[in-house]
Amino acid sequence: MGRFSGFRVTLAQVFKAKVTGDYPKHKRPKPERFHGRHVLNRYEDGMEKCIGCELCAGVCPARCIYVRGADNPPEAPVSPGERYGFVYEINYLRCIHCDLCVEACPTEAITETKLFEFSFTNRQDAIYTKRELLVGDDGRARRQPWELWLGGEDDDTSAWMRATSPSGVAAYEGRVAWSGELGFGVREPEHGQHAPLALEPGESDANTKSAAASGPGDAHS
Ligand code: SF4
Ligand code: SF4
């Protein structure tokens, strides 16, 4: 009798709703503040935002960022100002995605995407170089062969990055994205960002503009 009771328990499970999904074909939406792999951002004129100050490396509790700054060559500067990030590496065998590097950065050069599905078969792939971290000309993260990007994943990355990168989407200007969620507030548009805001269906123009006008230091949720 005990044996049949066991089968009854098993059979009962067959007709219950599944709690698992068809991963990775279907993924659950990630939280807005999800911390994934990093990107190094650029200004809309193509210049790099990183100034090689090493604050991100200094604050990193896992000691997984390696930065070396160098003086900008006067004839072909890489970033505005005196210095730029000559070498930039993040070791993802160590990173705990705490986001302290993002908070420490004075120029919003480093932000995080929502991508966490990347696996390595060798140590070299796990250490992302500046070339791999720097956003492409379309303002999106450069996809590496070992990363599993699915549709729409990069749409949820930093709007600030998307607004200010070369060939990025200026309509993201002033919209609350990673910076607002982290408590920095919405920032004033950077130089060259003057396109009208693109509103989502059902979103009022007044709401968007009042958020954009609240200025640095205001927390948004
Ligand atoms: S997210 Fe945290 S652990 Fe990872 S690189 Fe940044 S500071 Fe270091
Ligand atoms: S990413 Fe930001 S904090 Fe790190 S070296 Fe570059 S400018 Fe400095």
| 3-class SS string, the chain | CHHHHHHHHHHHHHCCCCCCCCCCCCCCCCCCCCCCCEEECECCCCCECCCCCCHHHHHCCCCCEEEEEEECCCCCCCCCCCEEEEEEEEECCCCCCCCHHHHHCCCCCEEECCCCCECCCCHHHHEECHHHHECCCCCCCCCCCCECCCCCHHHHCCHHHHHHCCCCCHHHCCCCCHHHHCCCCCCCCCCCCCCCCCCCCCCCHHHHHHHHCCCCCCCCC
186 touches ligand 2 (CB under 6 Å): no
Does the pTM surpass 0.85? The reply is: no
Rg of the chain taking only CA atoms, in angstroms: 21
Whether ligand 1 lies within 6 angstroms of the CB of 105 is answered as no
Written as tens digits, the pLDDT of the chain (221 aa) is 567 777 888 888 888 888 888 887 787 777 766 788 899 988 767 788 899 999 999 999 999 999 999 999 888 888 887 999 999 999 999 999 998 998 899 888 898 888 888 888 899 999 999 999 998 877 778 889 999 887 666 665 555 566 665 555 666 655 544 433 333 344 455 445 444 444 444 444 333 333 333 333 332 22
Question: Which atom belonging to ligand 1 lies closest to the Cα atom of 62?
Answer: 3
Q: Which two tokens stand for residue 3?
A: 């044996």
Tell me, in angstroms, the distance from the centre of ligand 2 to residue 85's CA. Answer: 7
**Measured in angstroms, how far is the CA atom of residue 97 from the centroid of ligand 1?**
5
CA of 48 to the centre of ligand 2 (A): 10
Indicate if ligand 2 lies below 6 Å from the C-beta of 78: no
